[in-house]
Amino acid sequence: MEGLDLSTQIPQALDAGGQMLARHGIEDPRTEAALLLAFALKKPREYVYMEPDGYLTAEQSETYRQALEQRARRVPYAYVVGKREFMGLEFFVNRSVLIPRPDTEILVETVLRSRCEDQGSGFEGGTAQSLLDLCTGSGAVALALAVHWPELGLIMGTDISDEALGVARFNAERLGVSRVVWEKGDLWDAVGERVFDCITVNPPYISTEDYGLCAPEVRCEPRLALWGGVDGLDYYRRIAAGAGQHLKAGGKIYMEIAWNQADSVRGLLERAGFVSEVFRDLAGRDRVVAAWVGHPKMAEIQGV
Ligand code: GLN
């Protein structure tokens, strides 16, 4: 591997790894090298700083070398180590699924907060019975809600990709969640005639132009999970067109959006007869749109 002197002593291995990742343009090379070294040693990260006299076995050295090589090729860290933390839970990830983002925790948190606050909706008193998570990928949203909202009865997670559903099922098993039903299908096709109190979705929403600007790491992730058509809004059009048939009276749909999509997404929803509300992330950027079926008269009054 490109002149890397990978000593088996921990401090030298850390230096060599950090230098290698720096040469490949990794932003925080020493931290990432420490994380990968800890991964190879199967120890917490602090260990690599606390054991200056420690050694790597041949097997650990080889694991570290392979991890560094992948990361140098800009494979995302989460794929290299095969996991990502989301809402306090550990999810297995591989190249079949989008890596759960902190941004998406806002979606989950918004739903969890609304379950108590909403009056006159299917959520009253936190009693929503059923939840549908479209484009579930690794199952992060569906499973985080299942764990953090024990009163929730039926949960369904859907995805167009068999491989993604395999990952979601594996995560459900690992987290000990057995009450999620997984269905394969293209958006609403997976749902049949079923109706739900609550729907969540983090659809692909990156436009063609923005996809071209994505970091190499993001381009390792499934394009199918990221690219939302020329203007990034294709899935929201299909969501707005179908959500009315799949929400119970008083039910709500929560969608993750990009920071600059709130107006377009709300416009699509309003034309389809929905009332909507935007939620922001901690940096003050628009991140989630919630929508519910408006009273027909209201649409008239608002002229939409
Ligand atoms: N937030 C993701 C990104 O910017 C996109 C996720 C999505 O398309 N749903 O990489």
204 Cα to the center of ligand 1, angstroms: 7
- Is there an atom of ligand 1 within 6 Å of 205 CB? yes
Nearest CA residue ID for atom 5, ligand 1: 226
User: Quick one: pLDDT at residue 129?
Assistant: 82
The list of the chain residues with pLDDT below 50 reads 1, 3, 119-122, 124, 126, 299, 304
55 Cα to the center of ligand 1, angstroms: 40
User: Quick one: pLDDT at residue 280?
Assistant: 97
Give this prediction's pTM.
0.91
98 Cα to the center of ligand 1, angstroms: 8
Instruction: Give the mutation target among 86, 103, 289 for probing the ligand 1 site: most ligand atoms within 8 A of CB.
Output: 103
Contact 141, 104 (CB under 8 A): yes
- Is there an atom of ligand 1 within 6 Å of 236 CB? no
Strand ranges for the chain from DSSP E: 83-86, 89-92, 130-134, 154-159, 180-184, 196-201, 247-256, 274-280, 286-293
Contact 214, 206 (CB under 8 A): yes
User: Quick one: pLDDT at residue 118?
Assistant: 54
Question: What distance in Å separates the CA atoms of residue 142 and residue 200, rounded to the nearest whole number?
Answer: 8
- Is there an atom of ligand 1 within 6 Å of 224 CB? no
